[in-house]
Amino acid sequence: MDELWGHLTATQDPPAAWVGLVAALAALLIVGLRITWPLSRGLITIAHEGGHALAALLTRRKLQGIRLHSDTSGVTLTRGRPNGPGMVLTALAGYIAPSLLGLAAAWLVADGRITLLFWAILLFLFCMLLLIRNLYGGLILLVTGGAVFALATYLPDNGQQFAAHLAVWFLLFGGVRPIVELQRKRRRRQAPDSDADQLARLTFLPGGFYVFFFLLVSTASVAAGGWLMILPALGVPSR
């Protein structure tokens, strides 16, 4: 166990500054381009639904399962009081989960704990797999987990560092775009049952307030993640 823990918590030296900058640019293109975003958006949905599920467990709601769909949508089914703090926190967690996971991953990358990051992602995917209730969701989690395992096992250190930076920036940038898309749909009255509108019905605040809150958390996470990862690569201590 000591050897395993030592392997998981081993640190790598920070890569050259260009590695993080190229990874950030690549992630921005993946999220920003119309060709790549529909293909990669499902990964953000995994984090989104995982956020709902984690909040439900922490607030002691009964978690019935998670479904991930081929159109990159998803749903987390819970049972309990239809209102109250538990339901509010569960609905609140989805849109901010990718950004907060990206921020936590940025902290690990900045500390050089690339191996720990990959295995934490694998643990997250495995826990979600236990909760999946449809075939497509199970397949996409297995494929994603297999890809992460291959990266953690077979890539050299330099490749792992680039992959880790790319994953972090993808979570950070990918956490912002769905919120912008949500507000566009709300303006067209195409998302009457969105998380923001459910929260509006659960509380006294309007749905627009929750969209603003989601966007505030996601943009702050991008800024904090950049502060954590880019400054050390440039030789400036982040803490």
pLDDT digits (tens, 9 = 90+) for 203-219: 999 999 999 999 999 99
Question: Would you kindly state where each structural domain of the chain is located, as residue ranges?
Answer: 20-233
Q: Select from 228, 107, 236, 98 the least CA-distant residue to 174.
A: 98
With a cut of 90, say whether residue 236 has pLDDT above it: no
With a cut of 90, say whether residue 17 has pLDDT above it: no
Q: What integer pLDDT is reported at residue 28 of this predicted model?
A: 96
pLDDT digits 0-9 by tens, 90-149: 999 999 999 999 999 999 998 889 999 999 999 999 999 999 999 999 999 999 999 999
The pairing of beta strand 62-68 with beta strand 74-79: antiparallel
Give the list of residues 6+ apart from residue 2 with CB closer than 8 angstroms, or none: none
